[in-house]
Amino acid sequence: MTKADIVAEVSEKTGIEKGQVLATVEAYMDSVKDALSKGENVYFRGFGSFIVKKRAQKTGRNISKNTTIIIPAHQIPAFKPSKTFVSKVKKGA
């Protein structure tokens, strides 16, 4: 499912114009990105959490040059689904 599919479905279910739904979805995604970039987690009860995970420094290999490189510690965005979300997906409902 793409963003356009989501916009079309929400527009169909709510009767709101696609342009307004698209603006709302874009604003929602921008808000989540802004919060995560500030190191804040975003929680949606019954859906899940967008969290910032810390990755430790590690050693990697550049296979083409056969050299060792150090990958510095960094943060990555992640999504942790709620228990109700997981159970619904498992049931296939």
The pLDDT tens digits of the residues spanning 8-24 come to 999 999 999 999 999 99
Q: pLDDT tens digit string along 39-77?
A: 999 999 999 999 999 999 999 998 898 899 999 999 999
- pLDDT at 92 > cutoff 90: no
State the Cα–Cα distance between residues 65 and 78, nearest whole angstrom.
31
Tell me the mean pLDDT in the region 20-34.
96
Of residues 53, 54, 56, 50, the one with CA closest to residue 34: 50
What pLDDT, on the 0 to 100 scale, is given for residue 93? Answer: 57
Q: Give the three-class secondary structure for 46.
A: coil
Domains present along the chain, CATH in parentheses? 3-91 (4.10.520.10)
Q: How big is the CA angle at 30 (ends 26 and 35), to the nearest 5 degrees?
A: 155
What is the reported pTM?
0.77
Q: 């810390």: which residue's tokens?
A: 54
Length reported for the chain:
93
